[in-house]
């Protein structure tokens, strides 16, 4: 059996209701993301699988969210990008961010388990 690159990606039906990456961020007193945002989808879908789930969307972050499990010694990086179309340019942006993350962390986490999860709606 031959495995193709695109076979590694999982689809999520709930992404069909996503309309924005973060939702309305103008109200600084809010501590949740809009229900129709990718950030909300990521938190609702994956947060419970981790001991720590951190929103790291602060400019030069490693990822939009970082999940950490103590028992499995696992760190997972979640990137959320709302693509306007399934274009080579949009895909290249995601891949370049993944490579930047891996390049930045490999030296620091040489023998650790690093998982990168790509969450994107096209």
Sign of dihedral through CA atoms 33, 38, 39, 44?
positive
Enumerate the H helices of the chain as residue ranges: 38-46, 88-106
Whether 2 is in a domain gets the answer no
Whether 37 is in a domain gets the answer yes
Sign of dihedral through CA atoms 61, 65, 56, 79?
positive
Whether 49 is in a domain gets the answer yes
Residue-number span of the structural domain to which 110 is assigned: 12-22+32-121
Q: What's the order of all strands across the beta sheet hosting 65-69?
A: 52-55, 65-69, 74-82, 113-121
Report the pLDDT value the prediction gives residue 114, as an integer from 0 to 100.
58
Whether 1 is in a domain gets the answer no
- Output the pTM of the full model: 0.74
Nearest to 78 by CA among 120, 31, 18, 36: 120
Number of domains in the chain: 1
Whether 41 is in a domain gets the answer yes
Report the pLDDT value the prediction gives residue 115, as an integer from 0 to 100.
60
Cβ-proximal residues to 102 (8 Å cutoff; 6+ apart), any chain = 114, 116
Whether 80 is in a domain gets the answer yes
Whether 4 is in a domain gets the answer no
Report the pLDDT value the prediction gives residue 42, as an integer from 0 to 100.
94
Report the pLDDT value the prediction gives residue 67, as an integer from 0 to 100.
94
Task: Compute the residue count for the chain.
Answer: 122
pLDDT in tens, the chain (122 residues): 777 766 777 788 888 889 998 888 888 888 889 999 999 999 999 999 999 999 987 666 778 899 999 998 888 888 888 877 666 777 777 778 778 777 777 656 555 565 655 555 55
Report the pLDDT value the prediction gives residue 62, as an integer from 0 to 100.
75
């Amino acid at each position: 059996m031959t495995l193709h690159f695109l076979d590694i990606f999982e689809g999520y039906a709930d992404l069909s209701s996503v309309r924005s990456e973060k939702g309305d961020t103008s109200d600084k007193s809010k501590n949740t993301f809009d229900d129709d945002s990718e950030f909300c989808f990521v938190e609702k879908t994956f947060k419970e699988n981790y001991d720590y789930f951190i929103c790291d969307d602060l400019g030069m972050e490693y990822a939009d969210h970082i999940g950490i499990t103590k028992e499995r010694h696992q760190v997972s990086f979640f990137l959320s990008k709302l693509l306007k179309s399934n274009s080579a340019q949009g895909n290249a942006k995601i891949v370049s961010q993944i490579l930047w993350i891996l390049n930045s962390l490999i030296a620091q986490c040489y023998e650790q388990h690093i998982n990168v999860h790509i969450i994107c709606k096209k």
